[in-house]
Structure 1
Amino acid sequence: MLTKQFARKQLSLAVALATTGMVSNAIAQEAVPEQSEQFSPSSLEEVVVVGRLQSVAASLDDERLELPYSADFLGFEAISRAGDSTIGAALRRVTGVTLVDNKFIYIRGLGERYSNVTVNGAAVPSPDLARSVIPLDLFPSSIVESLKVQKSWGPELPANFGGGAIDIRTRSVPSGPVASVSIGKGMNTESKDGLAHLDNSGSMPQAIKDAIGRYKGDLTSSNIYDIEVAEGNAITRDEAEQIQRNLILSLNRKVAMSQDSLDRDRDLKVDLGNAWDVSDALVLGASVSAAYDDEYRNKDQTKRSIGSPETSFSESQRTVYEERKTIAVVLGAEYADDNSVQLSHYLIKNHQDEARYTEGYSNNNQVSDDRPDVDYVTRKEERELELTQISGSHRLGEFSPLSALEMLSLDWFYSDAQATTEVPSGASFVGTIDRTTDPETPFISQSASSGQFAFLSLEDNVESWGGRAELPIDIDGRELVVSGGWWNSEKSREYLGYTVNVGTNATVGTPQSVFSDDRINDLNNTFDITLGTGFGNESYVAGQKIGAFFGGLDFRMTEEWRVTVGARWEEYQQAVLPVNLLDFTGVFNQQLAQQLQDPDQTFAIQNDDIYSSFALTYSGYNFLASEEFQVRFSVSETVVRPDLRELADVAYIDPELSVRVFGNPALESTQIRNFDLRGEFYYEGGDNFTVSLFYKDLELPIEQVEGAGSDDDTVLTYLNGDSGEIYGIEFEGLKTLPAGLFLSGNVTVSDSEITITTNNEVTNTERRLTGHSKYVVNASLGYDSPDEKHSASLLYNVSSERIFFAGTSGNDDAFEQPFGSLDVIYNYYPTETLSLKVKVSNLLDSSREFEQQNSSGTNVKILEQDVGRSIGLNLSWKY
């Protein structure tokens, strides 16, 4: 049996390929290579929260000014003021950033694959089934101290850099006693009533697991009979049939749905901490925090086929329950102000439970017949991220043997993380309703897959470690900072999926009546069970290893001029191997081994290169009426590599939009040249203004395009374009107004172009990049009362239409339409310890819409999804 144990052998093969780059040697290995023993997250200095957006903005200005490369920051208090519950929602406020699916960040018009996300400088795994990047809705904003979005590359960052690099910097130990409690309630206007369904908990039944091995993946009654007889067991045909029926009975078939009222949103946060002076030089600190929230959301969808939207479409009622739990423990020690060590542990759990009922028509089932196809779907998904990090920050100081080395500092980090996702129960039943005879009772489809049960498992492990040393040197009153360090990560991923199909010849009835225990136990009724994926292989294992050394010189030539140069040597090794869980003959693995011997194989890659950067900064005073200003120019060369999911020769369903996606093992990395010119102007009272020009030249950009599918079904895949470019201008500012008002916001205006001549299927060989928006606007009008008891904000966020996927076969590109989000937040502080917050989101009641023009010139709204307005009330007490 090709079980999970055997899959782990293939996982070790993938890791070996990624680690050694020697295909022939890796095939012989059967154990995961020994992991490195070093890794750690970078330490954070404490940020003192002083209570208002203007103050927080001023506290982060110093760090932005000191960096030689362009970056934007978002502090905890600004996030809290905006009422953003997740990191993804908070990042919408950053210049040039758009949020997609409430999970993924697009920076400067480049998709999520062009964004590199770290936590305290460390690589972390992703529990997302559809992407290798981290879904940012997973992280609650309550654990964040600040967010850093770096838009021009420096050698301390991984070379995998496109639009920008996001570093989630978690909260450090407190400097004194901390205690806070927060409770909240909320609701969504589209989610008052929704689909309630019976419990679909559980996992793949043990009986099914055992039968897969015993009967070699063939669960037909005839094969069960043959194997039992071959092993000398006396058995009749009816007894073999009953064994098969018992396997069907072991499956959870509780998918009955009904319209019911939905519970309101809830959230609870608790934070406790303190610091203790052990001696004059030694301080210890600790904190523990926990957060819980849950919500129901209706995400009803309408889909239309591009070829015949009037006759081929579907309407889906979708209700999704989501629950998040977070526990964070932080321990820290500081000695003599020059040495600090911090240990952090985070456990984040996310549970989703979905019920979906769909009615639709197709070219094979005309509207005029009034016999819509129906689909009952229940799906449970459990995501978990466990992250442990230890970091240190040290300066030689009084321990230095030489006075010239007193300012030598070292920061280091180690991180070990595991992300898992389980779909222990995903059931789908298909049928038809004949409204000409019976408008209510469905006919379950008579096919080999009338009922389909999916079981998926993802395990992503990442170990990462690194460090950085820095030494300032005085040269005739001018400062030269010499720095260097190392950065490593090792990743293994296992994605396994089974699909169990149950067929029947029954006709009239709902899923729960057709697939009832009594009917299944009656051998006069026809039922069958088979194993398969439905649309191709969906399991794979992968390994990835990155090792890097970097160095740089930062020279302040004069008080005004500063030049920074750096380089990074990075070695990248990766392997992605498909897994056939139903191969009991060994043929699949023999063929895979032969393919791995081919010099042109695409399963494993290994390369190394040197990536360099140059930055020139001019600082001055009293220009454009500013108190202080900086102008920076930077240029760098980076790379964006395909993620593991895009390279895997497997297929999967994107759970958010319910479309099929196929990987492409032939994808190549994108080489990028980055140019950035930025001017920053700072004024009295915290006012500031920033303008940036940027240009990126892309070689072999990766694009998501429409794949080969039917007119009734959207299929997506990936390919490399020939070349591409993106360029634009960004404006950002904060302005204090009379009467306690202030205005902040940012605008990005940009354009892009990609050329694809190597694929004859693509309709537009020259167009904008997938995911690119020509403009992004984030604006906030804030108010702080003179007595500091009231504050309010009006927040607006919108981006122009962007290409969702590139059209093929004469169909135009599909565009996601602008989503204008208008939010209002009000805070009331009756005492120094109590606060009350009210937030209303999506006041404009915008919905997600996708449009595509077909080959006949008709503009089709291929997908619509409701969002609704949300209202939240939160009460907090803080010591």
Structure 2
Amino acid sequence: MNTPAKGFFVKPLSLAVVAALCAPLSTAFAQSEEEAIEEVVATGTRLKGTATAVMQERKNQAFVADIMGAEQISRTGDSDAASALRRVTGLTLVDGKFIYVRGLGERYSSTQLNGTTVPSPDPTRNVIPLDLFPSGIIESLSVQKSYSPSMPASFGGGNVDVRLRSIPAQSIFNLSAKLGYNTENSGDALAYDGGSNDWYGSDDGTRAVPAAIQERWDSKDFLDNLDPQTAVDLFSQVNRNYGPEYDSVAPDTGFNLTAGNSYDLNDDWRTGYLFTLGYDHQTRVSEQYELQQQDRVGDSITLVRFFDDIQSTETTAKWSTLLTLGLDYKRNHRVDYSLIVLNDTRDEIRLKTGNTENLSVAEGVRIRDIDVEYEERTLYTNQIKGMHTFPEWNFIGFDWKYSLGRSVRYAPGNMEGRFVISDANEDGVFDYDNESRLLDAQTAGRYTFQNLHDRVENYGYNFTFPLTVGRWEMEFKAGADFINKTRQAENRRFDVNTLAFEDRSILVGNNFGDILTDDVLANSSFNSRPLIRDTTIAGDDYVAAQLIDAYYFEADFFFNNKWRFTGGVRWEDFRQVVAPLDPRTNQFDLSDEADRSQLAFEEADFYPAVAVTYFLEEDMQLRASVGLTVVRPDLREVSSSTYIDPLTDFPIAGTPGLETTSITNYDLRWEWYREAGNNLSIGLFYKDMESPIESVQSPAQDGPPLIRIANAESGEVYGVEVEFLQGLEVFGGGIWDNLFVSGNVTISDSEIVLDRQNIVEQTGVSAAITHTTRRLTGHSKYVVNTQLGYDSDNGEHSASVVYNVFGERILIPGIDGFDDSFEQPFHSFDVVYKYYPDFNTTVTLKVQNIFDQKKELEFEEVLLRSETKGTSLSLTYRYDF
């Protein structure tokens, strides 16, 4: 694969797809939906500074929303947007990246950055992995849970808006540095030789495909039916130095720099800037377990294929850069420009020992796999927005926005190798060092090279018109939103066939690179079988495009400061096409016109919403809302090509012809905003879904089951949410004046109804579903967040004890009579302490996962997956100049 270019581009085929979809879009601009929260500097207790600003914004929302400010994120010690959002009422975190709102999967929620749509670097999902956004650049996180017409109509659980830091009101300049450690990292850990630039998350070409192979792929001359010598010549240029080896683990490190200021140019004009630069490098060692296949014999379950000893070392390197420039005229006209560059590189090596159907302890052998996964995820976004108020025209407002973003996923070095360990000396011990050999097979090794480009252009505008008539205060809003998205994915792979060696006794050893050395390749004899063979398949490449033209109208009415009526409608014209390609011909991989028509999707409809708020008291209100929305299939979910799900390691195949899910959303919430930031809210929600999109499984003839995406018949989600914050001074003076407790509890349930025959007809494969009525995948019946906080009288100390847990949730639906596989509750217990020795200095100590919890998946009390997480400690020093 070629290293991704630095500029924006769309290949001709992508342009053709876009052209087939749409008529030219009109040029327009749009308002950012939410204004950024001003930075709050707390001079007294930090509790009040933490809660007051975000509570006031939430109180003023017409529709149900939860907001988390930067100071709240700092108190809980979360390092990125994903881990911070799990503290919000009703939200759970899956795989450290994806947020489930009210138990609905990531496909049921939309994500925005500063109110605009941005591209995703995830190859299997259309949503943005929220671990990309470090907490150091976040000003607030807004989660709108009830639909409003100014939001995207693709709205299920809610809309998450990551709002980045804005221009400061005064000069700021600070530096911080971090050191960290995880208890799993003690001793030597699994490793391999990577590239010289790995420390900052960039491959130096070590893992990249050799130029000779890349040239063949570019010319459509794939590695098929190679003569033996050509195969050897090509493979000799491939990196084989993937270990494994063992090395000590360096401590986690990180730093952050922030600088900004505002300047008065004269009485009318003001300008300013903000610049942040952050870096974080950490290593996580873990022990894992993985069951891949089981059989039922009577009432007992037999484990057929599993890895009971997995060693893993994962290293991440993250860079973040944010530059914001602003210009203001008379406080009525403001234009802001932001450049965001984020890079997140993950490098993982796993050594897996276990059994298969044919290679097991009972046969006197075991298998040992080496698995290396390396990926660079990068997001580039340019955003410009304007906010204009015209006092001379009855304070009419005009806001606009424009965003152009590109995300890249570059994975040049994924490699798998399989070894066999035999107890040759029959001492009852499988000696990995002396009794190991590379497998005699057509797939003794596999190399994979992947590249993904996602490009999104989003622009629009928004007019507001305030009007007062008697006891009625009104505001009318009308606007438009346009999204143009293209995606291009390329995947190449080839397998290593050790059956090509005449003398396979040379395959003895436990290190891939030490066995297949240059000398071995140069001096070995080969039979007629080529050493490498291309296993790239049709559908590995695809292009996709998506266009949305939306117009909306909202009206907001206040009557006598007692009632608030808000409502409106959104009209959205949605067009999407996904075209799987045959890499060998660059032609569409579509068998007939019927398939082709299923991959092009278009719908246009109206999506109304209405909300009513009744002000019971000055600090107490009751609000209700109802809205009609949809959830559409992701780009890959309507393509029949197969890919590997990173959550389960199971293959997933999309389904052409998937239907849109229609949702009716109901919300009712009572809110009490009291003195000093104390508050209490109780909410009820219900969602009625038609044709919900869900994961189902089909038995596989060889290997793990195949997951398919299909429509259920119907579904519903309902529950209650409670959120609170209370200072403990109510128990008396003294230490109680310095303590507060906050948190939230969500109790909910869901149900979907599946029809086996309809799923078979839709997917074209067997659907041996165990439960045709079950909970939604990923739904937890309860989520609990609590925090006990302390602020000293002299302002020198603050501390938080933070707890989070979610109820068990289905991750893999059951088939063939086996129950669903549930991810077990994870009790996250963290402590964050901050010391302020002077006005300029902050020292932060974090201890996370104190209980040393494991991640576990189970079905019928049988362990399916497990992974140790360890206890993490970090110390951060920050100085404000």
The alignment status of 1:377 with 2:371, answered yes or no, reads: yes
Residue 729 in structure 1 maps to residue 727 in structure 2: no
Residue 169 of structure 2 is aligned to residue 194 of structure 1: no
Instruction: Count residues with an aligned counterpart.
Output: 827
Q: In 1, Cα distance between the equivalents of 2:50 and 2:359?
A: 60
Corresponding residue to 1:16 among 14, 19, 29: 19
Equivalent positions of 1:296-445 (< 5 A) are: 296-304=283-291, 305-307=293-295, 309-314=302-307, 315-397=309-391, 400=392, 405-437=393-425, 439=431, 440=433, 441-445=435-439
1:15-35 deviation per Cα after TM superposition (whole angstroms, max 9, x unaligned): 234325xxxxxxxxxxxx899
Q: Deviations over 1:496-549 (max 9, x none)?
A: 100021212334233223311111112514572445447873221100011100
What is the identity, as a one-letter code, of the residue corresponding to 1:620?
Answer: L
Q: Distance in 2 between matches of 1:748 and 1:840?
A: 26
Q: Against the structure 1 CA distance between its residues 393 and 810, is the aligned structure 2 distance closer, same or farther, given a 3 Å change threshold? A: same
Change (3 A) 1:251 1:646: same
Cα offset for 1:448?
2.1
Residue 597 of structure 2 is aligned to residue 601 of structure 1: yes
**1:448 maps to which residue?**
442
Q: Is the 8 A contact 2:491 2:536 kept in 1?
A: no
Shift of 1:714: 4.4
User: SS at 2:194's partner residue?
Assistant: coil
Whether 1:664 aligns to 2:630 is no
In structure 1, C-alpha distance between the alignment counterparts of 2:349 and 2:31, rounded to whole Å? 41
Letter in 2 for 1:87: A
Do the aligned partners of residues 99 and 213 (structure 1) sit closer, same or farther apart at CA in structure 2, a change above 3 Å counting? closer
Alpha-carbon distance in 2 for matches of 1:535, 1:810: 32
Following TM superposition, by how much is the alpha carbon of 1:710 offset from its aligned partner in structure 2, in angstroms? 4.8
Residue in structure 1 matched with residue 762 of structure 2 by the alignment:
none
Map of 1:208 onto structure 2: 213
In structure 1, distance between residues paired with 2:629 and 2:36: 29
- 1:40–1:464 CA contact under 8 A, matched in 2: no
Task: Give distance in 1, aligned partners of 2:650 and 2:311.
Answer: 16
Match of 2:611 among 601, 611, 615: 615
Q: Counterpart of 2:155 in structure 1: which amino acid?
A: F
SS at match of 2:826: coil
Would you say the 8 A contact 1:486–1:548 is kept in 2?
A: yes
8 Å contact 1:50–1:56 — kept in the other structure? no
The aligned residue for residue 248 of structure 1 is 235
Residues 282 and 315 in structure 2, CA contact (< 8 A), matched pair in contact too: yes
More deviation, 371-380/729-738: 371-380
Partners of 2:274 and 2:217 lie apart in 1 by: 48
- The Cα shift of 1:370 comes to 3.2
1:528 is paired with a residue of what secondary structure? coil
CA distance in 2, matches of 1:3, 1:270: 29
- The DSSP-based 3-state class of the residue aligned with 2:621 is strand
State TM-score, norm by structure 2. 0.90
Given residue 861 of structure 1, which amino acid in structure 2 is its aligned partner?
L
Higher mean C-alpha displacement, 65-74 vs 207-216: 207-216
Provide the residue aligned with 1:30 in structure 2. none
1:192-212: CA deviations, max 9, x gaps?
Answer: 332111126331211002234
Q: Counterpart amino acid of 1:15?
A: V
In the superposition, relative to structure 1, how do residues 571 and 215 fare at CA in structure 2: closer, same or farther (>3 Å)? Answer: closer
Distance 2:64 2:370 in 1: 50
Question: Are the equivalent residues in 2 in contact too, given 1:754–1:767 (CA < 8 A)?
Answer: yes
What is the distance in 1 between the residues matched to 2:559 and 2:152?
Answer: 28
Amino acid paired to 2:747 = V
User: In structure 2, which of residues 843, 846, 855 is the aligned counterpart of residue 836 of structure 1?
Assistant: 843
Shift of the 477–646 alpha-carbon distance from structure 1 to 2, 3 Å rule, reads same
In structure 2, distance between residues paired with 1:7 and 1:386: 15
1:692-744, CA deviations, whole angstroms, 9 ceiling, x for partnerless residues?
A: 00000000111122233257524322111000001110000000003210000
Match of 1:820 among 827, 837, 855: 827
Deviations 1:320-366 (A, max 9, x none): 11000011111001110101110000111111111111111022223
Displacement of 1:301 = 1.9
Structure 1-normalised TM-score? Answer: 0.91
* Farther-moved stretch of structure 1 (710-719 vs 452-461): 710-719
Query: Aligned equivalents of 1:658 and 1:571: distance in 2?
Result: 35
Question: Does the C-alpha gap of structure 1 residues 865 and 18 become closer, same or farther in structure 2, counting only changes over 3 Å?
Answer: farther
Counterpart contact for 2:97–2:131, Cα < 8 Å: yes
Amino acid at match of 2:857: F
Residue 270 of structure 1 corresponds to: 257
Could you tell me the percent identity over the aligned residues? 37
Call closer, same or farther: CA 1:573–1:2 in 2, change over 3 Å: farther
Contact 2:353–2:366 at 8 Å: present in 1 too? yes
The amino acid that maps onto 2:870 is G
- Point out the more displaced range, 369-378 or 74-83: 369-378
Deviation at 1:666, TM superposition (A): 2.7
Q: Which amino acid aligns with 2:143?
A: V
Kindly state the Cα deviation for residue 747 of structure 1 after the two structures are TM-superposed: 0.2
Distance in 1, matches of 2:579 and 2:141, equals 35
Moved over 6 A (4+): 1-7
The alignment status of 1:763 with 2:758, answered yes or no, reads no
**3-state SS in 2 of match to 1:306:** strand
1:122 match: secondary structure: coil
Give distance in 1, aligned partners of 2:218 and 2:321.
Answer: 39
In the alignment, is the contact (CA less than 8 A) between 1:2 and 1:582 conserved in 2? no
Paired position in structure 1 for 2:794? 787
Single out whichever of 412-421 and 549-558 deviates more from structure 2. Answer: 549-558
Alignment of 1:698 with 2:698, yes or no, is no
Q: 2-side partners of 1:599 and 1:578: how far apart?
A: 11
1:866, distance to aligned residue in structure 2 (A): 1.3
Q: Specify the alignment match of 2:199 in structure 1.
A: none
Of 249, 269, 280, 2:267 maps to 280
Structure 1 unaligned spans of 5+? 21-32, 223-240, 622-626, 854-858
- What corresponds to 2:539 in structure 1? 537
| Secondary structure of the corresponding residue to residue 819 of structure 1 | coil
Aligned residue for 2:681, secondary structure, equals: strand
> Are the aligned partners of 1:472 and 1:480 in contact in 2 as well (CA < 8 Å)?
yes
- Which is further off, 514-523 or 560-569? 514-523
Distance 1:109 1:558, change over 3 A: same
Residue of structure 2 equivalent to 1:60: 54
Runs of 5+ unmatched residues, structure 2: 196-205, 296-300, 730-735, 760-766
Q: What's the counterpart of residue 569 of structure 2? A: 567
Distance 1:35 1:661 in 2: 38
**How has the CA–CA distance of structure 1 residues 121 and 446 changed in structure 2, closer, same or farther, with 3 Å as cutoff?**
same
Which amino acid in the other structure matches residue 557 of structure 2?
A: F
Moved more, 672-681 or 844-853: 844-853
CA deviations on 1:168-198 (whole Å, 9 max, x unpaired) are 1111111121101111111111123321111
User: CA offsets, 1:60-93, max 9 Å, x none?
Assistant: 2222122110000000111112111100111111
Higher mean alpha-carbon deviation, 700-709 vs 433-442, is at: 433-442
Relative distance call for 1:3 and 1:199 in structure 2 (3 A) is closer
State the alpha-carbon separation in 1 of the partners of residues 146 and 422 from structure 2. 60
Q: Secondary structure at the match of 1:65?
A: helix
1:856: which partner in 2? none
- Contact 2:697–2:768 (CA under 8 A) maintained in structure 1: no
- Counterpart-to-counterpart distance in 1, 2:106 and 2:787: 25
Once residues 686 and 62 of structure 2 are traced to their aligned partners in structure 1, the CA distance between those partners, rounded to angstroms, is 18
- Counterpart CA distance in 1 for 2:535 and 2:102 is 38
Q: 1:741 aligns with which of 739, 745, 748?
A: 739
Note the C-alpha offset of 1:214: 5.7
Q: 1:106-130: CA deviations, max 9, x gaps?
A: 1111111111100111101111122
Any conservation in 2 of the 1:500–1:531 contact (CA below 8 Å)? yes
Correspondence for 1:25: none
Residues of 2 paired with 1:275 and 1:70: CA distance? 34
